[in-house]
Copies of this chain bind each other. A is one copy, B any other.
Amino acid sequence: MKIQIVRDVLEANDQLADSIREEGKKHGYTLINIMSSPGSGKTSLLESVIPELKKKGIRLAVIEGDITTTADAERIAVLDIPVAQINTEPFGGDCHLGAEVIMPALHQFDLANLDLIFIENVGNLVCPAEFDTGADYNFVVISTTEGEDKPLKYPLMFRVCDTAIINKTDLLPYLDIDINKLIKNITQINPKMKMIRCSAKTGENIPSLADYIIHLVS
């Protein structure tokens, strides 16, 4: 009985996610869902890559997902792009964004005049991987401070994503992490994963990340 209900929720979510992708094709924008643990640097990455994307003429918007607070949305709004905030707290403090909250957030934007929309999901390496948001691409951000073993311990996240951004490379000299082992573990879970190493703080490789995203948009 309980399992049936969970299945219904997931099936309803998947259908709505497909509608979101169809709407994206109709309007001609690309939707990228960014997921990670809390504190791995999703907002900082957006802060550093968005100006690069704007310079190249990409018209973009961001959907910010958080349990509570508008702190991240406020950081992004400073970049002078449209931002929609989803707080999951009124829905029970949900640990992920489902398609049912993405759809109304999208409708806050002038969709016909956008090339790219980012979703910054709730900071959580588990549950967001289970819910299709309707995104065209799924990115996982993994910080160098989180250790080499995370792809093996949270395999679903690394299976559903097409791109892994290895962030905080500036801290590598002060950490024991073996970056080649991290890359090996990512590849073991998802041999097709694209990987980009960068530092939102120093800007290292941020132009490459921007070029990669522009390639996905066009």
Contact = CB atoms under 8 A, between A and B. Distances in A.
Interface of A: 2, 5, 9, 37-39, 66-69, 71, 93, 95, 122-127, 130, 143, 145-147, 149-150, 152-156, 168, 170-171, 174-176, 201
B37 A152 contact: no
A38 B71 contact: no
A68 B143 CA distance: 21
A150 B39 contact: yes
B93 A143 contact: no
A171 B174 contact: yes
Contacts of A149: 69, 71
Nearest to A177: B39
A95 B37 contact: no
Contact of A154 (B38, B146, B156, B171): B38
Nearest to A94: B126
A95 B127 contact: yes
A153 B123 contact: yes
A153 B39 CA distance: 11
Given A124-B124, A125-B124, A38 B146 contact: yes
A44 B79 CA distance: 39
A156 B68 CA distance: 10
Contact of A68 (B145, B147, B153): B153
Given A127-B127, A146-B38, A201-B176, A67 B5 contact: no
A203 to B, nearest CB: 14
Contact of A168 (B38, B127, B145, B152): B145
A71 B126 contact: no
Contact of A39 (B67, B93, B122, B147): B147
B174 A38 contact: no
29 contacts: A2-B9, A37-B38, A37-B39, A38-B146, A38-B150, A38-B153, A39-B145, A39-B146, A39-B147, A66-B153, A67-B126, A67-B155, A67-B156, A68-B152, A68-B153, A68-B155, A69-B152, A93-B126, A93-B130, A93-B156, A95-B124, A122-B126, A123-B126, A124-B126, A124-B127, A127-B127, A145-B171, A171-B175, A174-B174
